[in-house]
Each structure stands twice: as C-alpha cells, then as structure tokens.
C-alpha cells in the first residue's frame, strides 16, 4: 500500500469522496478514489494487466 501525506488528503475531509472503477466492470483498467467536491482524483490504482503491457 502506498502512503499518502496528511497534507495531501486533509483538504478533502468532509467532502464527498467515492471509489470508482474504469473499464470492464469484471476486469477494470483502473480504480480511483475521487473527491467529487473538488473534481480531483486522489488515488489511482492501475491493473497489473496495464502495468505489464
């Protein structure tokens, strides 16, 4: 797991934060954690399939 600093995440406390998958629902390309209030991707995890392409 990657560590994120408090300074990066603290501005989003109290905001609407969601986890979203992109691509095929059964085998997504990426999964992101997004702040809807700021319209910002906070964290992105890429499929091993994409990393090894």
Q: In angstroms, how far is the first alpha carbon of the chain from the final one?
A: 22
Report how far residue 30's alpha carbon sits from residue 45's, in angstroms, rounded to the nearest whole number: 6
Instruction: Spell out the domain ranges in the chain.
Output: 6-51
Q: Please state the separation of Cα 46 from the chain's center in Å.
A: 9
Residues of the chain with pLDDT > 70: what percent? 91
Three-state SS for 48?
Answer: helix
Q: What pTM, to 2 d.p., does this model score?
A: 0.80
pLDDT digit string (tens) for 3-15? 788 999 999 999 9
SS3 36: coil
């Amino acid at each position: 797991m990657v560590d994120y600093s408090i300074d990066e995440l603290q501005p989003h406390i109290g905001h609407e934060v969601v986890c979203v998958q992109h691509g095929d629902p059964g085998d997504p390309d990426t999964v992101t954690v997004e702040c809807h209030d700021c319209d910002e991707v906070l964290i992105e995890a890429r499929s091993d399939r994409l990393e090894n392409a």
